[in-house]
Chains A and B, each alone.
Chain A
Amino acid sequence: MGTSRVTTINFESELRRAGAHSTHGWRRLAFLAQRYLLGTIGLVIMVMFVWMAISADLIARYDPLSVDSAQRLAPPSAAHWMGTDSFGRDVWSRIIHGARISLAVGIGATALGSSIGVIVGLVSGYLSGWVDLLFQRITDILQALPLLVLALVMTAALGPSLPNVIIAIAIPLIPTVARVIRANTLALREQPFVEAAKSIGMSETRIALRHVLPNTLAPLIVLATAQLGSTILTEASLSFLGLGIPEPYPSWGRMLSESAAEYVRTAPWLVIFPGVAISLAVFGTNLFGDALRDILDPRQRG
């Protein structure tokens, strides 16, 4: 039958098409780094933030929560590289610890949303019929609302805490992931290798898990990386609006909201540094996500 073979992505051959002729691991990595320079920069930025989050206690020069009234609103200096806030807390230390929150929420929400999205998409695409119809309409409703508005309503309902913020940001991600996985599942279902699995007498569950799911992973990785930036941004927005991570834990978004109105003119470092941190993190993940998409999924190339 004339089914297309474009639905499955072959990592090896995509790499070769991208020009990586060497099969040696390191040399190939070096080649890719050279070819996707922006992606490499993105990866470096991401790695930097991850390293900051992991070793925050070692890098930070002060306790991010300790208040020092003598040092209120001190401008950047040798002692306080990024100055201090209105409570005299060190901004540099707070930004480093804020990376933990941002990454925890970003990675947590992306992982949770993607996992549920994969299950929904797989079930929906595989069972089709009324299950599919129901899931699709729920997805439509969810997608009609902007990510931030939905997350706002969720945190308002659940109450602000780290797990709740993760859940609130994860739920709006489900439809996007579910759609991609469903579309892929629908295409894969018609592939002869799935028909062959059926003719062998495999159970539907086994076919879905062993033959369909592994072939949807490449677009999933691409999508999840692309979503990572927007979850970090959503967390910052939620915290800015006062519904994110509760006090006193440092969150970049709330650092902005605490200072934006009052101190933007008198102590601009309070606005500039958290803003730069948010932008840089989102920028890094987006650059990396774009490069990953180009490597793994060239058909989506813009």
Chain B
Amino acid sequence: MSDQRPLLEVTDLVKHYAVRGGVLRRRVGTVHAVDGVSFSVAKGETLGLVGESGCGKSTVARAVLRLVEPSSGAIKLNGTDITGLSKAEMRPHRRSMQIVFQDPFASLNPRMTAGDIVGEPLAVHGLATGRAQQERVAELFAQVGLRPDQMKNYPHQFSGGQRQRICIARALSLGPSLIVCDEPVSALDVSIQAQVINLLIDLQRKNDFSYLFIAHDLAVVAHISHRVAVMYLGRIVEIADKSELFANPRHPYTQALLASVPVADPKAKRLAPMVDGDVPSPINPPSGCAFHTRCRYVMDRCKVERPALVEAGERHQVACWLNDGTGRPE
């Protein structure tokens, strides 16, 4: 990881959804799905994005790919701000970033053969047709560990893990520099998860692209990521290099997340649960620090003022008022 210009730079990304009600479809509320998120991904780097369900992880992923329009903020890909681009202007940039979804059953068109699914991006971008396309698809199949003779098969003839490999091959077909993985293994069996994660790591070594890797499973994130960002209710509360974050979590929410990771040792003593209750509604997020309703170290200031992400160590940022805004060292 060099200190060059980052591949992806997201600044103050906001996505609000209007809640409409009544006969006149008036705006009666706002869902703060993503509420001012900033991060960057360097070339060849994997940034893990973790958080509970509904914290806005997937919305960030879709906004980065312009599958949802951000309400405000900037998304720079290779230095170009892609937020204001029209569909036509966006097309060349689409080649640089691709996505792998969570549900390998719903992310493949059931009426197309696996070979057509992987080859379609090539045809759409005019990169290869006919024989050349077939050969390229066969190559991609081999890269993700599928047999080229499986190109004729339809998605339902594959297992979940194989389908996810097809999705990865499709994402690879355009030679992207960024692949957004939206919980790519959470729908798979544990034994298959490891295979797919290792495939992703291998592919990154060979091709040097970056991942924005979204997951709620910390063990998976720990395995694949170089850096990890923790999201809570539409905001990033902590971001640091993987080893630093796992050794030295400073935000109470991160600490709670880490404490909740199951340990494969029946004799291990479980820590007392550090967070109770549910995530508050993003329609009316709590004032100040969004986590104050569940934080055991809550202070008066937390309920009023929203903490900003500040440096709390080397390449370690945290948004917490504890210890003068550097979070709570364990």
Q: How many residues of A contact B (CB 8 A)?
A: 23
- Nearest residue in A to B117 (C-beta to C-beta)? A193
Known: A13-B156, A192-B107, A211-B109. A200 touches B174 (CB 8 A): yes
Separation of A210 and B67 alpha carbons in the complex (Å): 19
Known: A13-B156, A200-B94, A201-B124. A5 touches B105 (CB 8 A): yes
Known: A198-B67, A200-B174, A201-B90. A12 touches B107 (CB 8 A): no
A3 within 8 A of B: yes
Chain B contact residues, majority secondary structure: loop
A196 and B101 within 8 A (CB): yes
Separation of A165 and B11 alpha carbons in the complex (Å): 63
Contacts of A196 in B (CB 8 A): 99, 101, 107, 167, 170
Contact-size category for B: 20 to 34
A261 within 8 A of B: no
A-B contact count (CB 8 A): 71
Known: A13-B156, A200-B121, A206-B124. A195 touches B99 (CB 8 A): yes
Contacts of A13 in B (CB 8 A): 156
Which residues of A does B touch, CB under 8 Å? 1, 3, 5, 8, 10, 12-13, 191-193, 195-202, 206, 210-211, 214-215
Separation of A1 and B187 alpha carbons in the complex (Å): 11
Separation of A197 and B116 alpha carbons in the complex (Å): 12
B108 within 8 A of A: yes
B102 within 8 A of A: yes
Contacts of A191 in B (CB 8 A): 106-107
A-B contact pairs, 13 of them (CB 8 A): A10-B110, A12-B154, A13-B156, A192-B102, A193-B106, A196-B101, A198-B67, A199-B94, A199-B98, A210-B109, A211-B109, A215-B109, A215-B110
- Nearest residue in B to A194 (C-beta to C-beta)? B109
Residue from A12, A198, A206, A211 having most chain B Cβ neighbours under 10 A: A198
B111 within 8 A of A: yes
- Nearest residue in B to A217 (C-beta to C-beta)? B111
B58 within 8 A of A: yes
Contact bitstring B48-72, A, C-beta under 8 A = 1, else 0:
0000000000100010010100000
Separation of A199 and B174 alpha carbons in the complex (Å): 11
- Nearest residue in B to A190 (C-beta to C-beta)? B106
Contacts of B124 in A (CB 8 A): 200-202, 206
Separation of A150 and B205 alpha carbons in the complex (Å): 67
Contacts of B147 in A (CB 8 A): none
Contacts of A206 in B (CB 8 A): 124
A199 and B99 within 8 A (CB): yes
Q: Shortest Cβ distance from A68 into chain B, in angstroms?
A: 56
Separation of A195 and B63 alpha carbons in the complex (Å): 12
